[in-house]
Amino acid sequence: MNIARFLPVVLLAALSGAPFAQTSPLPPGPSSAPPRPVPTIPQTPIPPPPQPNAASWVLMDYANGQILASRDPDARRPPASLTKIMTEYVVAAAIAAGKIHMDDKVHISEHAWKAGGASTDGSTSFLQLNSDVPLKDLLYGMIIQSGNDAAIALAEHTAGTEPAFAELMNAYAKRLGMDNTHFVNASGYPAPDHYSTARDIAILSRALIRDFPEQYKISAIKSFEWNGITQHNRNTLLWTDPTVDGIKTGSTKDAGFCLAASARRGEMRLIAVTMGGNAMSDATSGDEALLNWGFNFYRTHKLYAAGQTLAAPRLWKGESNTLPLGVTDDVLVTIPRGEYGELKATVDMPATLIAPFTKGQQVGTLHVTLDGKPLADKPLVALNDAPRGGFFKRLWDAILLWFHHGTGTTTAPAPTVTVAPATSLAPPASTP
């Protein structure tokens, strides 16, 4: 695409504060006939989200972590076997770090056998006491069969003891921003002070898919056989919806029925989490309804690419006269269908930028809003090193700055920006 031909339109939108939207020219007609009027199609309002029969739930967009719909997302609840998503995450991190390996032989201790084995009333992989099992088989057994014994054995192999492993789980939870979560064990077996939330489980699920995609693929396997016993994945959405590829079920008397599910349709992925349902059918139908609603009525857009120049304000006392600014990661937003043209973006940055700057140094903030409501805030950084200029360049710019009284800026301030002066940007061309 020739970017230069769009610059006048974008600049006009920026100076006027109006959004930039794509338009398509009408097909040419006979010179003697007026163009046919384009019919106005009223926008269909988005219906309210489904209301799963659960104590709390969320629907999250994977690309950016946006919550599209929720009810009591931060209510602390027993997570049951949704806990095993974190167990998988910690084990996968240890594998990635080379501390443990998929072909390790894991010893099945008395604690793993007694607390999570066939003699308990929880899910089990039927592991034999004092046997040695390949780590890969334990991982499959925990994720597909939801084996409590497999989870405990993995915890002990990774950290020495299950309590030490729980400390790792909590450390990772803190790092991921799971602010209302605390783990006591690796399996999710009921215990005091063992809790999480629908939002935190969605955050964890997103991190697992993003950071350890190979381990996440195990979630899509429908059955697993161990020691002559075949058990099926409890996530029945794997059979009814081919776009669903995970993640985990869970249930106890206190937790109710829980399900974290994820589906990908085209380039869009959503994560649905329900907690505290009265039956597994409630959790399944709830997640299914949320996923369908999200895919039907929302779209994810890539507004700006990492490294793309979003602004090039005047740079004083530097080798260059401008400082290219952009973002370090792609800016992705998920919005209702048909509302792309309502997006607005503004940049806050200082009125006067004086060299030096280093590549990656934050200079301002990019704000994206929809109908005046905040949608995304991203650091605006220098895209290149900007060293100081020579003596005479600095002297000349000092004289110019004296005349400008420190108000030098490349464009007019945006009236909606609270930190002045700022550059007003319009969303770039994209497919609505």
- Digit-coded pLDDT (tens) for 101-124: 999 999 999 999 999 977 787 899
**The pLDDT of residue 45:** 80
CA angle in degrees (0–180, nearest 5) for 56-212-299: 55
Flag whether 348 is in a domain.
Answer: yes
Flag whether 262 is in a domain.
Answer: yes
**The pLDDT of residue 39:** 60
**The pLDDT of residue 61:** 97
Residue 21 has pLDDT above 80, yes or no: no
The CATH number that applies at residue 126 is: 3.40.710.10
**The pLDDT of residue 23:** 30
373 and 324 housed in the same domain: yes
The C-alpha torsion from 209 through 214 and 217 to 218, rounded to 10°, is: -120
Instruction: Give the torsion sign (CA, 266, 271, 277, 280).
Output: positive
275 and 358 housed in the same domain: no
Report the range of poorest mean pLDDT among 137-151, 279-293, 336-350: 336-350
Residue 289 has pLDDT above 80, yes or no: yes
Flag whether 384 is in a domain.
Answer: yes
Flag whether 4 is in a domain.
Answer: no
268 and 411 housed in the same domain: no
Other beta carbons within 10 Å of 392? 8
Domain that holds residue 105: 56-298
Choice between 385 and 40, residue whose per-residue pLDDT is larger: 385
275 and 375 housed in the same domain: no
- Interval 220-248 mean pLDDT: 95
325 and 351 housed in the same domain: yes
286 and 152 housed in the same domain: yes
The CATH number that applies at residue 409 is: 2.60.410.10
Other beta carbons within 10 Å of 250? 27
- Nearest CA-CA partner of 409 in 351, 332, 368: 351
Residue ending a domain, among 261, 282, 298, is: 298
Report the range of poorest mean pLDDT among 21-30, 231-240, 290-299, 328-337: 21-30
- Interval 200-214 mean pLDDT: 98
List the structure tokens of 232.
Answer: 């099926």
List the structure tokens of 34.
Answer: 């007026």
150 and 169 housed in the same domain: yes
Residues 234-248 as b or e (16 or more Cβ within 10 Å = b): bbbbbeebebbbbbb
Per-residue pLDDT band at 41 (split at 50, 70, 90) = low
Residue ending a domain, among 298, 332, 364, is: 298
Residue ending a domain, among 253, 277, 298, is: 298
Flag whether 63 is in a domain.
Answer: yes
**The pLDDT of residue 372:** 86
**The pLDDT of residue 198:** 98
367 and 271 housed in the same domain: no
Mean residue pLDDT across the chain: 86
- Nearest CA-CA partner of 349 in 426, 424, 421, 425: 421
Per-residue pLDDT band at 401 (split at 50, 70, 90) = confident
- Considering its fold, how many domains does the chain have in total? 2
276 and 314 housed in the same domain: no
78 and 158 housed in the same domain: yes
Flag whether 48 is in a domain.
Answer: no
Flag whether 354 is in a domain.
Answer: yes
CA atoms of 240 and 54, how far apart (whole Å): 21
Q: Considering the chain, what percentage of its residues have pLDDT values greater than 70?
A: 83
Report the range of poorest mean pLDDT among 43-52, 146-155, 255-264, 420-429: 420-429
Flag whether 31 is in a domain.
Answer: no
Mean pLDDT is highest, among 15-19, 165-169, 336-340, for 165-169
Residues that are catalytic: 81, 84, 146
356 and 313 housed in the same domain: yes
210 and 280 housed in the same domain: yes
**Could you read off the pLDDT of 301-355 as tens digits, one per residue?**
999 999 999 999 999 999 999 999 999 999 999 999 989 888 999 988 998 999 9
